[in-house]
Amino acid sequence: MAMLKDITLGQYYPADSVIHRLDPRVKVVVTLGFIVSLFVISTIPGYLLAALFLWLWIRLSRVPLRFMLRGMKSVFFLLFMTVVFNLFLTPGETLISWGKLVITKEGVRIASLMAIRLVFLILGSSVMTFTTTPTRLTDALESLMRPLTRLHVPVHEIAMMMSIALRFIPILMEETDKIMKAQMARGADFESGNIIKRAKNLIPLLVPLFISAFRRANDLAMAMEARCYHGSEGRTRMKPLVYARRDRAAYLLLLLYLVLSVVIGRDLLHLSSLFFPGGGV
Amino acid sequence: MLLRFDHVNCIYDPDASEPVHALTDVSLSVGGGEFVGLIGHTGSGKSTLVQHMNGLLRPTSGTVFADDTDIWSDRYDRKALRARVGLVFQYPEHQLFETDVLADVCFGPRNLGRSREDAERDAKEALSMVGIEEALFSQSPFDLSGGQKRRVAIAGVLAMHPEILILDEPTAGLDPRRREEILSLISELHETQHISIVLVSHSMEDVARYADRILVMDNGKVLYDDPPAAVFARHRELAAIGLRAPEAALLLSELSEAGLSGFDTYAVSAEDTAKEILQAMHSPQGVAADREGAV
Ligand SMILES: Nc1ncnc2c1ncn2[C@@H]1O[C@H](COP(=O)(O)OP(=O)(O)O)[C@@H](O)[C@H]1O
Ligand SMILES: [Mg+2]
């Protein structure tokens, strides 16, 4: 079950911190703003600024760094491939070469840029998921996407489906663990054999899992109906989202950060060389 | 066979913000033909404990011995252990998956490498032990009633011929009659097949009638490991950890507080309790309580 446990990306980490208490909408907007900023900045002072912002964001959340890094493990391969491809496939001034393999100066620059961006992006957005329960997160998305209802997008229904799906992930994981153990108690083996045998060995796990998922879905539908759920119309909230002072302060900080990152983070010359490598303006 | 726990600790998710210490320094032994009751309220660590007994969970520290061999030593065959230590999970009917009852019960013996004929023979034998008629063998397990499903699931473990049978809350979610049936089935298996039993429950009444020994768990620790009468005598301590001694034991202890003395044991069945009371009332020491004769 070690496999299931390693998925920390998108898991709530309970703690009492400012970031935990922030309005979930603020966290969504800050995360989006931070991601956008990562694609705007291209100078070293700009990255230092982003690093400072990220460091503050993580420290204030009180989520241990090692816990966040555990979530990085699952995307390590992606990161590795990105770096390798950029390192070897960027044309430009040769730095080192082994026969056909050539590392260029631009390659090093872009590879490290991409690596930093990816790591920052994942860490920055995992702060949001670590400090916000899935329910709050979907509440925030529903609230932020509300204008779309004018265009007849079923925002509430989408949000409800999302929150139910998220709610079921840990339940189904627990269920998988339990059924796996129950079948192992009957001598089942999920770890050895070739790929076809292994796939076949999954039947005793998957059949009960599907049955249980359907049973739970049915129960939930019943319970929602019994409590007169009828979609979004006329539905009020038990905990309406209301901005507090710290939320406004956070927005202000974000704005400051974005302005700064445009001012010191942008370098027109390098930025254009990113889009037109080799060309320059 | 004999299972022995030596200072076993279990911590779930040691890296989490709030690691769960599910077992704390557990030392005990089970097996050897005994009928052991394992009691504790929800979350006290009963399921965690029994999953250590057949090597499904590995102790965070400490050792589990099966007949004096560490079950986590290199090259120890835990699959073979799981056949000898049968574990019936809570709501075992949720693990049924085959197209017919017989095939589902064959799953265990087949996994142990037995031939199709041998497995079917074992399965039929196990099914008859739990009282499922031949007519149901070819039916889909999902068409059976709740009580029948549970028997089939128990048969699925019995068919592996365990020497120790562990049942995790086998009566959960059943009506009183099905409860009785399952409990007497377990006691029958103990008596006629000489299988050691570990019966997990949060109800004293269930366990009290059959167990030779009761383990009481609270908050990951084994508090008591004693014969039933000795455990019930501590009904106050039990109440403090959210457990209720059987009614009969409570009645006897209240009577003795009211002045009626001379009980030898904490009887469990209604008849035995009545006998104890009558005997105490007619003994010379019991005079002081004559006024309570009407109780
Ligand atoms: N797979 C698991 N992961 C994390 N914690 C668990 C897991 N299984 C049980 N626990 C926790 O361990 C404690 C003991 O649980 P359990 O052994 O199921 O108790 P019981 O069977 O007596 O109800 C509980 O606090 C429970 O929440
Ligand atoms: Mg349990």
Chain B residues touching residue A207 (CB < 8 angstroms):
97
Residue range A216-260, pLDDT digits in tens: 999 999 999 999 888 877 778 888 889 999 999 999 999 999 999
Determine the pLDDT at residue B154. 96
Q: Inter-chain contact B13–A70, Cβ cutoff 8 Å?
A: no
The boundaries of the domain holding residue B289 are 246-295
* ipTM score of complex: 0.87
Its sign, for the CA torsion A59, A60, A66, A70, is negative
Set of chain A residues whose Cβ sits within 8 Å of the Cβ of B79 = 187, 189
Say whether both B137 and B232 belong to one domain.
yes
Neighboring chain A residues of B13 at a CB cutoff of 8 Å = 5
> With the C-alpha atoms ordered B74, B79, B84, B85, is the resulting torsion angle positive or negative?
positive
- On whether both B100 and B127 belong to a single domain, the answer is yes
Nearby residues of B61 by Cβ (< 8 Å), 6 or more positions away: B7, B8, B9
Do residue B124 and residue B149 come from a single domain? yes
Q: What is the mean pLDDT of the segment spanning A102-121?
A: 88
CA B226 – CA B237 distance, rounded (Å):
14
- Pocket-forming residues, ligand 1, beta carbon under 6 Å: A 177; B 12-13, 20, 22, 40, 42-48
Interface with chain A: mutation pick from B87, B94, B168, highest number of A CBs within 10 Å: B94
Q: Say if residue B54 is in the same domain as residue B95.
A: yes
Same domain, B291 and B203: no
Regarding whether B126 and B270 lie in a shared domain, the answer is no
**Together in a domain, B114 and B233:** yes
Verify whether the Cβ–Cβ distance B160 to A207 is below 8 Å: no
CATH number for the domain that contains residue B192: 3.40.50.300
Using DSSP, how many helices (H) and how many strands (E) does chain A show?
13, 2
Nearest CA to ligand 1 atom 3: B12
Query: How many domains does chain B fold into?
Result: 2
Tell me how far apart the alpha carbons of residues A37 and A59 are, in angstroms, rounded to a whole number. Answer: 20
The answer to whether residues B265 and B206 belong to one domain is no
- Locate the domains of chain A by residue range: 2-273
Reported as type and span, the H/E element at residue A13 is none
Confidence of residue B17 (pLDDT cuts 50, 70, 90): low
Residue type at B294?
A
CA-nearest of B71, B40, B61 to B223 is: B40
Q: What would the pLDDT profile of B59-100 be if each residue is shown by its tens digit?
A: 999 999 999 999 999 999 999 999 999 999 999 999 999 999
Distances from the Cα of B171 to the Cαs of B183, B231, B251, in angstroms?
Answer: 8, 22, 25
- Per-residue model confidence as pLDDT tens digits over A69-92: 877 777 888 888 888 888 888 888
Instruction: Report the C-alpha gap between B83 and A189 in whole angstroms.
Output: 13
| Contact of A49 with A43, CB cutoff 8 Å | no
Contact B69, B43 (CB under 8 A): no
